[in-house]
Amino acid sequence: MSQPSRRGLADRCPGVFSTHEAADGAVARVRLPGGRIGPDQLTLLAQAAAAHGDGFLELTARANLQLRGIGDVDAVAEAVIEAGLAPSSTHDKVRNIEVSPLTGRIGGIADVAPVAEALDSRLRTEGWSAELSGRFLFGVDDGRGDIRRHRPDVCALVRSVDGPDIVADILVDDEPVGSARGVEMIVDALLDVAHMLVESAPGTWRIGDLTPDERSAVEERMGTRLPPAVRGPGDAAPDDAAPDGAPAVGEPIVGWFDQDDGRVLLGAVVELGRIPARLAEFIAAVEAPVIITPDREILICDLGEGVAETVVRVLAPMGLIFDATSPWARVSCCVGAPGCANATAPVREDLLAHVRDGEAIGDREHWVGCPRGCGSPAVPHERVVADPDGGYRTHRR
Ligand code: SF4
């Protein structure tokens, strides 16, 4: 079903410098390209959430972190700047880059972190890119298909490595439009698509908001600039993209995983998809790289076995859930009432009671307080919507 056009509508997506005013205070979203955050940065955000927010860091469906209930937005902005997580005030909201979370550590055809870093760097310095909507999504998929399934507006899907070069197909809203070789050409192609959107349809949020003619024009122009794509839309990822022991695409990255280099990666989830500030400070104290995934998982990477065992022993009792069978690995929610004035139910409270009562959670569920469906996963799921007359109704999305 096609979406109603959102062209020209104000994009109220929050950032660090333009917060959203909710019923429980301001909301600031901190973009983390690739979901990556260092220990010192996590400490600063946790301290800001404790001092100026509601005491939690919320995990978003685009692998970002969000602070809510903020009383002093300037103090939070200063903390985010100090952490180096808002390097450009003009481009703060456009750094929406999803990257295969396990890339370079477990499986995948190639490590695509350098592509994501180069893309973020260029995105922040191009003048035109400040005009992109805060909803436009870049994807960098290391060949296993995990980011592609989130259907970014434009996605580089690695298909091979040729000598020193990564070779990737370029997908526009999941349609292959050509291929690119090497980091520079891949980044150029991703930015070209975004630039075309800004130039040809100003005020348009996403590729899906283009008219069919506008969309065809983008695809045709990219087709003339790039060599043909190799992989078609239905192609599966090659077997070697997800080696034995790696979580299959779509399965929670929760538990203990052996990295390709012999070190350990721990994946965890938290109740209601929000990390208490104190727990976040303890995660940071491990002094290991942390990655937030678009499925609201927290990955603690590059650990020795002894350290990993200690992390599980200390942080599990504090609320970090390392059990892939936990309902919290499959369910998320919006803030609901009273934090949001549109909500017709206290969603968090209801979901907590539902889980603690041992009620069933489906394959993947997202609970919301009204049909706007904030924070919904990009992948197929059950949306559980509060009914103004009481109770909840479930729809397949
Ligand atoms: S889905 Fe509705 S109730 Fe939930 S945060 Fe969005 S607007 Fe508020």
Going from the Cα of 265 to the center of ligand 1, the distance in angstroms, rounded, reads: 34
Going from the Cα of 118 to the center of ligand 1, the distance in angstroms, rounded, reads: 35
Containing domain of residue 35, as a range?
20-90
Residue 46's domain is classified under what CATH number? 3.30.70
Going from the Cα of 90 to the center of ligand 1, the distance in angstroms, rounded, reads: 27
Residue 153 has pLDDT above 50, yes or no: yes
C-alpha of 211 from chain center: 26
Beta strands in the chain (DSSP E): 20-22, 25-30, 36-37, 56-59, 65-70, 97-99, 138-141, 154-162, 165-172, 175-181, 255-258, 264-268, 274-276, 290-292, 298-303, 331-333, 365-368, 382-386, 392-396
Residue 362's domain is classified under what CATH number? 3.30.413.10
Going from the Cα of 172 to the center of ligand 1, the distance in angstroms, rounded, reads: 29
314-361: pLDDT as tens digits: 999 999 999 999 999 999 999 999 999 999 999 999 999 999 999 989
Q: Give the residue from 326, 341, 366 where a domain finishes.
A: 326
Contact call for residues 141 and 158 (beta carbons, < 8 A): yes
Of 370, 381, 383, the one to substitute when testing ligand 1's pocket (max ligand atoms within 8 A of C-beta) is 370
Going from the Cα of 338 to the center of ligand 1, the distance in angstroms, rounded, reads: 10
118-152: pLDDT as tens digits: 999 999 999 999 999 999 999 999 999 999 999 99
Please check whether residues 263 and 322 belong to one and the same domain. Answer: yes
3-state percent breakdown (helix, strand, coil) of the chain, nearest 5:
30, 25, 45
Query: Residue 397: is it exposed, middle or buried by C-beta count within 10 angstroms (0-12/13-18/19+)?
Result: middle
- How confident is the model over 272-292, as a mean pLDDT? 98
Q: DSSP character for 237?
A: P
Strands 255-258 and 264-268: antiparallel
| Integer angstrom CA distances of residue 327 from 170, 272, 381 | 35, 10, 14
**H or E segment and range at residue 282:** helix 277-285
Contact call for residues 60 and 68 (beta carbons, < 8 A): no
Q: How confident is the model at residue 245 (pLDDT cuts 50, 70, 90)?
A: confident
The answer to whether position 6 is within a domain reads no
Q: What is the pLDDT of residue 2?
A: 44
Tell the residue nearest (CA) to atom 6 of ligand 1. 374
Going from the Cα of 141 to the center of ligand 1, the distance in angstroms, rounded, reads: 30
The answer to whether position 14 is within a domain reads no
Residue type, 221: R
Q: What is the pTM of this model?
A: 0.94
Lowest mean pLDDT among 158-162, 304-308, 317-321: 158-162
Q: What is the pLDDT of residue 10?
A: 66
Contact call for residues 44 and 238 (beta carbons, < 8 A): no
C-alpha of 336 from chain center: 21
Length reported for the chain: 397
- DSSP β-bridge partners for residue 358: none
Strands 255-258 and 331-333: unpaired
Of 13, 66, 335, the one to substitute when testing ligand 1's pocket (max ligand atoms within 8 A of C-beta) is 335
Residue 29 has φ and ψ, to the nearest 5°, of: -110, 130
Going from the Cα of 24 to the center of ligand 1, the distance in angstroms, rounded, reads: 13
Number of domains in the chain: 4
Contact call for residues 309 and 266 (beta carbons, < 8 A): no
Q: Give the residue from 186, 207, 240 where a domain finishes.
A: 240
What's the token pair of residue 208?
A: 């899906």
Please check whether residues 134 and 224 belong to one and the same domain. Answer: yes
200-237: pLDDT as tens digits: 888 889 999 999 999 999 999 999 999 999 865 556 66
Please check whether residues 321 and 335 belong to one and the same domain. Answer: no
Please check whether residues 221 and 290 belong to one and the same domain. Answer: no
Contact call for residues 179 and 167 (beta carbons, < 8 A): yes
Tell the residue nearest (CA) to atom 2 of ligand 1. 370
Nearest CA among 144, 171, 142, 135 for reference residue 158: 142
Please check whether residues 265 and 391 belong to one and the same domain. Answer: no
CA distance 173 to 152: 6
Q: Which residues line ligand 1 (CB under 6 A)?
A: 334-336, 340, 342-343, 368-370, 372-374
Of 20, 21, 27, 342, the one to substitute when testing ligand 1's pocket (max ligand atoms within 8 A of C-beta) is 342
